[in-house]
Amino acid sequence: MIINDSIENHIIKILLIIAILSNNIEKDNYIYKKINQFKNLQTNSSDLKIFIMAHKDFDNIRYNKVYTIVVDDKTQLKNKYDLNIIYANEGKLYRMSKSYAEMSKLFYIYQLYKNGTISSKYIGLNHYRRYFIFGDNIPKLENIFKNYDIILNKPIKMEKNVKNHYCLYHFCKHFDEILNIIKEIKPDYYITAKRTSMDKKMFIGNLFIMKKEDFFKYCEFMFDILFEFDRKKNFSSDIDVLLYLNKIYNNSYESYAQRRIQGFLSERISNIFFHHYFKNIKYFDIE
């Protein structure tokens, strides 16, 4: 029988409660090990920051100070976390945090790096429910980056190509508009963009660890394209996006589900950049 992660987590929590009530938690107990598997996570890498993008409370299983939680404002986290926290509660994309999803927070981090408020040699992005699996140790990145240009999660295999997969779940015209924008303002990437759109493999989630100089190039590429998309659509807030979607779908539930336009598009834009810009990729599994 196959048990998915969410069901397994619920089972573990139920068993943990039973174990607590029966005073049956021991160091060799599976439940104990599962709950505490990352508590002593070590890092051999210097000068690394990994940002955990979140929009609500979550089960924090990362205790290493390499990780920083990023949320929109203080109301989203009620639990006490033993990690650094950044509140992306101002700036250009704060009014579009719903439609940009994790990209709104990433843009805020990008600005903090640009103005020197924070700094590190290596920069990573994880989600509150998606992490790179490092085992007990975050590897020494200096050694990895001698032979590789970036760390990514393994691409998923799909029955449809990247474009048709997007069209299956979202408004297909937006994908074509992104390709046209790339042709207009990033013409060197256009051939890669067309080729990537026909690929049946895709990196999901915008997860990565890369060097700071490459991170700057990535953000410049990403936001130049998305901001031009916004300009053409006359988007300057989440309300603008929702009103636009209401006209397309004529269904409030569907409009609400699709409101993360820029977030959905960003995954495809990331794939184009990763394929074009990086030659040697180191893969890590994600949870």
* Domain locations in the chain as residue ranges: 1-36, 37-284
Does the pLDDT at position 24 exceed 90? Answer: no
**What length does the chain have?**
287
**What's the CATH number of domain 37-284, 3.40.50, 3.30.70, 3.90.550, 1.10.238?**
3.90.550
Average pLDDT over residues 5-29: 57
Average pLDDT over residues 62-87: 87
Closest CA to 158 of 206, 202, 194, 204: 202
Name which of 24-28, 196-200, 252-256, 258-262 the model is least confident about: 24-28
Residues 6+ apart with CB under 8 A from 140: 44, 45
Name which of 2-11, 145-154, 170-179, 186-195 the model is least confident about: 2-11
Q: Which two three-digit tokens encode residue 70? A: 């990023």
> Residue 27 has what pLDDT?
46
Q: Which amino acid, one-letter code, is at 92?
A: K
Name which of 34-38, 150-154, 281-285 the model is least confident about: 34-38
Mean pLDDT computed over every residue of the chain: 88
> Residue 25 has what pLDDT?
46
Torsion of CA 152, 156, 160, 162, to 10 degrees: -10
User: Cα–Cα distances in Å, from 56 out to 26, 87, 91, 104, 224?
Assistant: 31, 12, 20, 15, 28
Backbone angles phi, psi at 157, to 5 degrees: -100, 135
C-alpha span between 74 and 224 (Å, rounded): 29
